[in-house]
Amino acid sequence: MFRELDVGQSALLTDIAMCVNYYRLFSPGLYCCINATVQFDDGTRLCPGIVVQVNHGPLKQCDSGPSYDSFHGPPNFVLDVFPEDDLLDYEHRRKCFERAQVI
């Protein structure tokens, strides 16, 4: 579920998250989290690097759980950082996100 990142991957994820958060600050209705667990309807649980969801309206796809322990349903946007030698995990996670209809 949660993948350990090395220092370079963590720095890259932080840089990207800061850009995404800057966009979110000027886009009312978006919710952005780092390393938040996402639970899909088929029972799959993943922890992507960045999760962005729309809080309300017709584009809303997921909710935080009743205990705020994870998102339930597909978020609108996910971003992961992978090492070059971990393409199998990348493909698996990408297929899970596509199957769950992450935009």
User: What is the DSSP code string of 10-42?
Assistant: HHHHHHHHHHHHHHHHTSTTEEEEES--EE-TT
Own/partner pairs, 65-68, CB within 8 angstroms, 24+ separation: 65/39
- The residue ranking higher by pLDDT, 65 or 24, is 24
Give this prediction's pTM. Answer: 0.82
The domain made up of 7-99 has a fold known as: tt1808, chain A (3.90.1570)
State pLDDT tens for residues 50-73. Answer: 999 998 889 999 988 777 788 899
CA distances 44 to 22, 26, 38, 80, 92, Å, are: 30, 32, 8, 16, 11
* Domain boundaries of the chain, sorted by first residue: 7-99
